[in-house]
Amino acid sequence: MYRRLTSSLLGRRVHHPQFTPVCLRLGSGGCSRWEEEKKEDGVKWTQLEHRGPYFVPLYEPLPEDVQFYYDGKPLKLSLATEEIATFYAKMLDHEYTTKETFQNNFFNDWRKEMTLAEQKIIKDLDKCDFSEIHKYFVDKSEARKALPKEEKQKLKEEADKIQEEYGYCILDGHREKIGNFKTEPPGLFRGRGDHPKMGMLKKRIMPEDVVINCSKDSKIPEPPEGHKWKEVRFDNTVTWLASWTENIQHTLKYIMLNPSSKLKGEKDWQKYEVARRLKDVVQNIRAQYQIDWKSKEMKKRQRAVALYFIDKLALRAGNEKEEGETADTVGCCSLRVEHIRLHPELDGQENVVEFDFLGKDSIRYYNKVSVEKPVFKNLKLFMKNKNPADDLFDRLNTTILNRHLQSLMDGLTAKVFRTYNASITLQEQLKALTNSEDNVAAKLLAYNRANRAVAVLCNHQRSTPKTHEKSMQILQTKIDAKKQQVEEAQEELKKAEDEFKDTKDAKAEVNVEKKKKKLKRLEEQLSKLNVQATDKEENKQIALGTSKLNYLDPRISIAWCKKFGVPIEKIYNKTQREKFAWAIDMANEDFEF
């Protein structure tokens, strides 16, 4: 894979000091750098050394005067029971704690950790009073915020020291930043959406739960005093440094490198190269799935319609999920009949499909799309004699789809379409929206609009900021005031003009010009405010960050910056520049996705 990727780039004279220098003499007999850098298939590193995870501090008991009450009476809890009580107490302000599932799951798990004596007393969550504990933590956080500067500085230094010690590893001779070097603290599980496991107790991770991965000849990390690792292994075919199994869903959690690392950067680059290869064959693929809409095989038709959705609407693949274990969300292949409605005609458009389902993170996907006639017909067919809860594509799953895609192009999977369509959209939108005559601010507005088009395509949403309504009102007040001013200025201008008509006086003429100027200035300010309001309104539920970080080939943005004289810092902050170091180094203004 790497060889192919690299050789495909040879013509573009790519180099990056941080990244593997590419051998430019391939085929001209031996290249020691290449030999040195090239790893066997699947091998990710030759040297990996680190300190192991940083374990979050142990529980500190509450002060004596902070009490838990049961049925109105103070009750001293055992340490373990108290700790779990604090998890709930801390969340009292949160909407979660009002949900029945959350309460039940919490109470169940809490009771399991209680002593027998406690179990006998504490039988009803409604009789539990956590308010004093809650207040204790609110006060504590206030106190921390109010700490004098020097104290805050001291805390910062302590955190930096931990970061310095545990936050880096050595990978193939380079010091690399680790992404998440701390174990996750215990607490109550907060799933997204209507999660059946919300409120369950997430247990503390101990060294005995942790598998360490490093190189054999490295300094093996020491477990904390008096503890042992679950296992130490030396697997250079994976990129993780440590792992443990989490107790809610029984899935693995990993400690991995920061996106700024060479390892992650090269993987990112590779991802965009695959998407660029799709660009060369996408027209053929589209032509083929349109033919397949009319296939005799129902299986093929379903595959072709699903692929059309993935391509046109940037839907996710939609793996199957275990029922009852997670929130009920779907992607393309797992769509059910109840998630779409067919309208032969709607709002003047024909063959409209109305999508309404919860996707990843329980984010709602709602869209009305006019589709080609054969797609519409097929959907009707797929839905025939089915219940709302039945699968729309009953003969398709992501494995089948991806196997097909793999046969169309090496490395092609459903998610590549999202990457490809996102990046190509950015490139096209930038071309359409950027005006080289504009100043930097206007160019940035164009960039954000292009970015927004992608975010809309990928359905990247955020919850409306709590302050949105209010700041919108403030803006509206400003607009109203400005309108008033404009009207006044219009009247003043009219008066001045009348006066000039009457007097033909030079002074009056000057006054007319003055009033005209004033009106123009005010009108400009008004239109600026209106644009701002539109912008804000359009952006209130759209998150730009996700596409910027995960879907848009950074070389497109960098090329745009170079071409139009926009400093890269205007579009990428420090972290983002670190992540995209590879692209910043290799892309010039001619880069084409």
Residues 157-216 that bind DNA (CB under 7 A): 179-180, 182, 184-185, 187, 189-193, 195, 202
Report d(CA 124, CA 460) in Å as an integer: 41
The amino acid at 129? D
* Residue 449 sits in the site that holds DNA (CB under 7 A): no
The piece of 27-35, 73-81, 292-300, 459-467 that touches DNA (CB under 7 A) is 459-467
Q: How far is the CB of 257 from DNA (least distance, A)?
A: 8
* Residue 264 sits in the site that holds DNA (CB under 7 A): yes
Q: How far is the CB of 212 from DNA (least distance, A)?
A: 12
Q: How far is the CB of 510 from DNA (least distance, A)?
A: 32
Spell out the residues 6+ positions from residue 377 whose beta carbon is closer than 8 angstroms to its own.
none
Beta bridge partners of 548: none
On whether the CB atoms of residues 240 and 47 are closer than 8 A, the answer is no
Q: How far is the CB of 502 from DNA (least distance, A)?
A: 41
Query: Of the candidates 100, 322, 590, 592, which one interacts with DNA according to CB under 7 A?
Result: 322
* Residue 467 sits in the site that holds DNA (CB under 7 A): yes
Q: How many CA atoms lie within 13 A of 419 on its CB side?
A: 22
Report d(CA 547, CA 561) in Å as an integer: 18
Query: Of the candidates 20, 398, 429, 434, which one interacts with DNA according to CB under 7 A?
Result: 398
Closest by CA to 53, choosing from 224, 268, 171, is 224
Beta bridge partners of 48: 171
Q: Which residues 220-249 are close enough to bind DNA by CB under 7 A? A: 235, 237-240, 243, 246, 248-249
Query: Of the candidates 254, 293, 386, 585, which one interacts with DNA according to CB under 7 A?
Result: 254
Query: Of the candidates 77, 122, 256, 353, which one interacts with DNA according to CB under 7 A?
Result: 256
Q: Which residues 480-539 are close enough to bind DNA by CB under 7 A? A: none
CB atoms within 10 A of CB 242: 27
Q: Which residues 85-104 are close enough to bind DNA by CB under 7 A? A: 94
Report d(CA 318, CA 294) in Å as an integer: 24
Q: How far is the CB of 263 from DNA (least distance, A)?
A: 8
Active site residue 168: no
User: What are the tokens at 112?
Assistant: 């399991």
Please say which residue, 412 or 493, places its beta carbon nearer to DNA. 412
H helical segments located in 216-372: 262-292, 298-313
The interface mask with DNA, positions 413-442, x = CB under 7 A, is xxxx-xx-----------------------
Strand ranges inside 412-560, DSSP E: none
How many Å is the Cα radius of gyration of the chain?
30
The piece of 69-77, 251-259, 296-304, 585-593 that touches DNA (CB under 7 A) is 251-259
Query: Of the candidates 119, 218, 290, 402, which one interacts with DNA according to CB under 7 A?
Result: 402
* Residue 395 sits in the site that holds DNA (CB under 7 A): no
Single out the catalytic residue among 420, 447, 551, 572: 551
CA distances from 457 to 217, 545, 555 (A): 48, 14, 20
Query: Of the candidates 460, 482, 515, 555, which one interacts with DNA according to CB under 7 A?
Result: 460
Report d(CA 30, CA 36) in Å as an integer: 11
Beta bridge partners of 231: 211
Q: Are strands 364-370 and 48-49 parallel, antiparallel or unpaired?
A: unpaired
Please say which residue, 111 or 182, places its beta carbon nearer to DNA. 182
Q: Which residues 343-362 are close enough to bind DNA by CB under 7 A? A: 359-362
User: What are the tokens at 295?
Assistant: 């296939």
DSSP structure class, residue 338: G
Report d(CA 454, CA 551) in Å as an integer: 9
Spell out the residues 6+ positions from residue 38 whose beta carbon is closer than 8 angstroms to its own.
2, 3
On whether the CB atoms of residues 81 and 113 are closer than 8 A, the answer is yes
* Residue 145 sits in the site that holds DNA (CB under 7 A): yes
The piece of 110-118, 124-132, 141-149, 500-508 that touches DNA (CB under 7 A) is 141-149
Query: Of the candidates 46, 463, 484, 527, which one interacts with DNA according to CB under 7 A?
Result: 463
Please say which residue, 21 or 193, places its beta carbon nearer to DNA. 193
* Residue 448 sits in the site that holds DNA (CB under 7 A): no
Contacts with DNA by CB under 7 A: the residue count is 84
Q: How far is the CB of 313 from DNA (least distance, A)?
A: 13
Q: How far is the CB of 174 from DNA (least distance, A)?
A: 17
Please say which residue, 90 or 515, places its beta carbon nearer to DNA. 90
User: What are the tokens at 18?
Assistant: 């941080």
Please say which residue, 103 or 402, places its beta carbon nearer to DNA. 402
Q: How far is the CB of 205 from DNA (least distance, A)?
A: 10
User: What are the tokens at 514?
Assistant: 């003055």
Q: Are strands 231-233 and 211-213 parallel, antiparallel or unpaired?
A: parallel
Please say which residue, 439 or 467, places its beta carbon nearer to DNA. 467
The interface mask with DNA, positions 269-298, x = CB under 7 A, is --x---------------------------
User: What are the tokens at 24?
Assistant: 């430019």
Q: Which residues 61-90 are close enough to bind DNA by CB under 7 A? A: none
Q: How far is the CB of 414 from DNA (least distance, A)?
A: 4
Please say which residue, 257 or 353, places its beta carbon nearer to DNA. 257
* Residue 331 sits in the site that holds DNA (CB under 7 A): yes
* Residue 404 sits in the site that holds DNA (CB under 7 A): no
Q: For helices 440-457 and 554-564, what crossing angle results, to 10°?
A: 160
On whether the CB atoms of residues 8 and 573 are closer than 8 A, the answer is no
Query: Of the candidates 286, 321, 377, 449, which one interacts with DNA according to CB under 7 A?
Result: 321
Report d(CA 83, CA 76) in Å as an integer: 12
Q: In what order do the strands lie in the sheet with 168-171?
A: 48-49, 168-171, 174-177
Q: Please give the positions annotated as active site.
A: 551
